[in-house]
Amino acid sequence: MTIEKLSNQIFVDLTPDRALRRLVDRVFAQHHLKRTTAFEVSDIQPAMQFVASGLGVAIVPSAVARSFKESGGGVVLRIGRRDGHLPVWRVAILRSTKKKRLAGTDTVDLFLEKLADQ
């Protein structure tokens, strides 16, 4: 599905204060596309319930989409654009630089170890 066709759908969106919503709004605006938001929710789980009930479509992180598809909640669409230019959402990991921290003792260290194993 192209982003142009997707813009014609009814959306279940997160509230405007959420980072994902701001990203989605920015992408559609950059491509000069308008879309209709029928429902705004503050969390992804209620958004998925609305989508599963057939009340609209939602743009969510890929891990959420995979889980949704595996649970039988619906269909996951891949979005493309004719010219191939859609943003890639990159993430950064921030952490404290306190010297008193012992390596390997906190959740962040465990998470970073898991990422390195991927």
Residue pair 47/58 in contact by the 8 Å Cβ criterion: yes
- Report d(CA 104, CA 118) in Å as an integer: 18
pTM: 0.64
Q: How does pLDDT run across 87-100, given as a tens digit for each residue?
A: 665 545 455 555 55
Structure confidence at residue 80 (pLDDT)? 54
**Domain limits at 54?**
3-70
Would you say residue 62 lies in a domain? yes
Q: Is residue 81 part of a domain?
A: no
Residue 22 maps to a domain: yes
Give the whole-angstrom CA distance, residue 66 versus residue 37.
Answer: 23
**Separation of alpha carbons 7 and 13, rounded Å:** 13
Q: Answer whether residue 118 is part of any domain.
A: no
* Phi, psi angle pair for 110, to nearest 5°: -60, -40
Kindly report, residue by residue over 30-79, the tens digit of the pLDDT.
889 999 999 999 998 899 888 888 898 888 887 777 777 777 766 666 65
* CATH number, domain with residue 17: 3.40.190.10
Mean pLDDT of 95-106: 55
Total domains in the fold of the chain: 1
The answer as to whether 89 is a domain residue is no
Could you tell me if residue 90 is inside a domain? no
